[in-house]
């Protein structure tokens, strides 16, 4: 524990640091830029208004030549890098996190692999994150642990520092017990999570799945969204599990989308696409959970059936490169690229590709422009904790136009009732929804979009952080409120 009066009052522990490496300055020192994504946006104000520290992996192996291992201050935050060796990146990150837990927690869309060495790396790396957090947290601090890579950290941290208030948020689904039960280390994972005071999930169903797993595996009886576990002082401790659906910085997306530069860029993109009648858009990390293949299949069949015309319609599919060293992701990329090639081979003409496939990452401005070009936004995940793309699309549509087709297997579907909900496995149903979206008139678009926008603006990421922290520790939560209003 730090000496009295020292240490940080709020500590975030996440797989990745809040910054990404941005080369080296002229003196050979590492340069950093803020990581994209909502988590940093949501938590930065809390970190700056309190004494805040962020513990995370800087993104390259600790034995790499340009590895960073010393804590440093950046943008009003204290950043604490956790080093991973190349073997640990393989066993903990690519292996147990992305080869075991990710598919297990996403309805076993591909088969999870269970390897004891991966598990050992997961334990060892979780211990390192917990030790780093224990070292920087002030007496009685709030520590907020993020996501499935770090499920053992809450209990490890509590053992070292019983004085802390510990929260945990799971960004991905928590599976039904019948699936979770496959995990050879299911008890250890549940016990790891139960080290927290408050566990946040995306949907109420995820919290219920977790509480059911506690009952089935640990014989703990849930009452009022909580279970009681033995405490270090010999008494009992309550652990609450509730839904806190994550969101986006809606005001920032709205402002960006309204800017003259982004509007101009949207006009230019539409012109570059040949000014088609209908632009259909998909934006995803290239991941097998996102149902990209299902969506391309439905689109291709609509062209085959003559229900969509190749000279009037374009599908733009942006697929961000992701986890490229994991075998399943390499296979997926090959599948999708083959499928795109087939559709373009069958329906393209000289100078016109009916599917525009982009395997790139883009800046925020380009994304905002793309959202404004999209008459129809397709989100067809087979399983998705939340899906922020759906919310970003809505926030970008200040013109109240466009139609959102949204898989019922996303967390976002619980909130976005006025989207066109689909079961992506039902290709005929998906095709009908795409046609309905393409022909939807402006009045209906406006009616639906208004309701969607209301939801996203009232439940933004600032509110998410405030609600979670207020439930964990009202004194800290109140402070977030002050920043966000
Ligand atoms: P992801 O699976 O990564 O997140 P998602 O919620 O859609 O999924 O977030 C992706 C983010 O990356 C969005 O902000 C999106 O705009 C951005 N993005 C995607 N492709 C991009 C590209 N080509 N260029 C630039 N940006 C791009 C996990 C869970 C989700 C959960 C989030 C947050 O799987 O279910 O919603 O965490 O909790």
Report all structural domains of the chain as residue ranges with CATH numbers, in order of start: 8-243 (3.40.50.2000), 250-458 (3.40.50.2000)
Taking only the tens place, the pLDDT of each residue in 236-276 is 999 999 999 999 999 999 999 999 999 999 999 999 999 99
Please work out whether the CB of residue 392 comes within 6 Å of at least one atom of ligand 1: yes
Residue with tokens 């009908």: 432
Pairwise CA distance, residues 370 & 283, whole Å: 9
Residue whose C-alpha is closest to residue 255's, from 352, 368, 422, 333: 368
What ipTM was predicted for this assembly?
Answer: 0.97
Q: Which of 368, 388, 410 to mutate to test the pocket of ligand 1 (most atoms within 8 A of CB)?
A: 388
Q: Look at residue 479 in the predicted model and tell me its pLDDT.
A: 59
Cβ-proximal residues to 387 (8 Å cutoff; 6+ apart), any chain: 379, 381, 406, 407, 410, 411, 412
pLDDT of residue 411: 98
Does the beta carbon of 214 lie inside 6 Å of ligand 1? no
Residue 152: is its pLDDT beyond 80?
yes
Distance CA 103, CA 465 (A): 27
Neighbours of 272 (CB within 10 A): 10
User: pLDDT at residue 109 above 70?
Assistant: yes
CB 367 less than 6 A from any atom of ligand 1: yes
Q: Look at residues 196, 205, 207 and name the one whose alpha carbon lies nearest to residue 229.
A: 196
**281 Cβ closer than 6 Å to some ligand 1 atom:** no
Q: Is the CB of 88 under 6 A from ligand 1?
A: no
Strand 30-34 with 19-24, pairing: antiparallel
Which residue owns the Cα nearest ligand 1 atom 37? Answer: 171
Q: Which of 97, 103, 283, 414 to mutate to test the pocket of ligand 1 (most atoms within 8 A of CB)?
A: 283
The alpha carbon of 285 and the centre of ligand 1 are apart by a number of angstroms equal to: 7
Minimum CA distance residue for ligand 1 atom 15: 389
pLDDT at 448 (0 to 100): 98
* Structure-token pair, residue 220: 């703990």
Best of 285, 359, 369, 465 for a ligand 1 pocket test (most atoms within 8 Å of beta carbon): 285
Ligand 1 closest atom vs CA 389: 7
- For 174-198, write each residue's pLDDT tens digit: 999 999 999 999 999 999 999 999 9
Q: Which of 18-27, 125-134, 257-266, 436-445 has the lowest mean pLDDT?
A: 18-27
Q: What is the pTM of this model?
A: 0.95
Residue 171: CB within 6 Å of ligand 1?
yes
pLDDT confidence tier of residue 423, bands split at 50, 70 and 90: very high
> From the alpha carbon of 358, which atom of ligand 1 is closest?
23
Is 415 near ligand 1, meaning CB less than 6 Å away? no
Rounded to whole angstroms, the Cα distance separating 473 from 469 reads 6
For ligand 1, atom 16, the nearest C-alpha belongs to 389
Q: Is the CB of 318 under 6 A from ligand 1?
A: yes
How big, in percent rounded to 5, are the helix, strand and coil portions of the chain?
45, 20, 30
Look at ligand 1, atom 4, and give the residue with the nearest C-alpha.
387
Average pLDDT over residues 472-480: 75
Pairing of strands 52-57, 30-34: unpaired
Query: pLDDT-derived band of residue 36, with 50, 70 and 90 as boundaries?
Result: confident
Q: How far is the CA of 392 from the centre of ligand 1 (A)?
A: 10
Distance 388 CA to ligand 1 centre (A): 6
Ligand 1, atom 23: closest residue by C-alpha = 361
Q: Cα–Cα distance between 7 and 5 in angstroms, integer?
A: 7
């Amino acid at each position: 524990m730090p000496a009295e009066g020292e240490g940080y009052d709020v500590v975030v522990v996440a797989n990745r640091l809040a910054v990404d490496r941005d080369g080296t300055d002229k003196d050979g020192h590492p340069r950093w830029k803020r990581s994209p994504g909502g988590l940093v946006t949501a938590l930065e104000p809390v970190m700056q208004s309190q004494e805040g520290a962020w513990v995370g992996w800087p993104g390259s192996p600790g034995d790499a030549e340009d590895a960073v291992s010393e804590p440093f201050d950046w943008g009003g935050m204290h950043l604490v890098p956790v080093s991973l060796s190349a073997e640990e990146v393989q066993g903990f990150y690519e292996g147990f996190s992305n080869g075991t837990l990710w598919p297990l927690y996403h309805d076993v869309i591909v088969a999870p692999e269970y390897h004891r060495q991966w598990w050992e790396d997961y334990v060892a790396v979780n211990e390192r994150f917990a030790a780093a957090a224990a070292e920087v947290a002030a007496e009685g601090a709030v520590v907020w642990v993020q996501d499935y890579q770090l499920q053992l950290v809450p209990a490890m941290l509590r053992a070292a520092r019983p004085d802390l208030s510990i929260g945990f948020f799971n960004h991905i689904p928590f599976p039904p017990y019948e699936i979770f039960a496959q995990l050879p280390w299911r008890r250890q994972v549940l016990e790891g999570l139960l080290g927290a005071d408050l566990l946040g999930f995306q949907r109420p169903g995820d919290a219920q799945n977790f509480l059911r797993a506690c009952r089935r595996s640990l014989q703990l009886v849930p009452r009022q969204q909580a279970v009681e576990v033995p405490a270090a002082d010999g008494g009992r401790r309550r652990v609450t599990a509730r839904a806190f659906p994550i969101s986006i910085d809606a005001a920032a997306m709205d402002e960006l989308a309204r800017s003259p530069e982004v509007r101009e860029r949207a006009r230019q993109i539409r012109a570059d696409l040949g000014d088609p009648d209908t632009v259909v858009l998909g934006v995803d990390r290239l991941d097998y959970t996102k149902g990209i293949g299902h969506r391309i299949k439905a689109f291709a069949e609509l062209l085959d059936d003559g229900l969509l015309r190749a000279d009037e319609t374009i599908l733009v599919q942006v697929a961000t490169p992701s986890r490229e060293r994991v075998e399943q992701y390499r296979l997926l990329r090959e599948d999708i690229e083959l499928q795109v090639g087939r559709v373009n081979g069958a329906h393209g003409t000289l100078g016109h590709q009916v599917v525009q496939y982009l395997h790139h990452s883009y800046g925020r401005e380009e994304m905002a422009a793309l959202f404004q070009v999209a008459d129809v936004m397709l989100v067809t995940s087979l399983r998705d904790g939340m899906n922020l793309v759906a919310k970003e699309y809505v926030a970008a549509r200040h013109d109240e136009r466009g139609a959102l087709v949204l898989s019922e297997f996303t967390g976002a579907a619980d909130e976005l009732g006025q989207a066109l909900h689909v079961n992506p496995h039902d290709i005929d149903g998906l095709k009908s929804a795409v046609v309905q979206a393409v022909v939807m008139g402006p009045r209906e678009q406006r009616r639906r979009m208004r309701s969607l926008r209301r939801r996203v603006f009232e439940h933004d990421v600032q509110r998410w952080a405030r609600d979670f922290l207020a439930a964990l520790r009202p004194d800290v939560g109140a402070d977030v409120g002050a920043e966000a209003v």
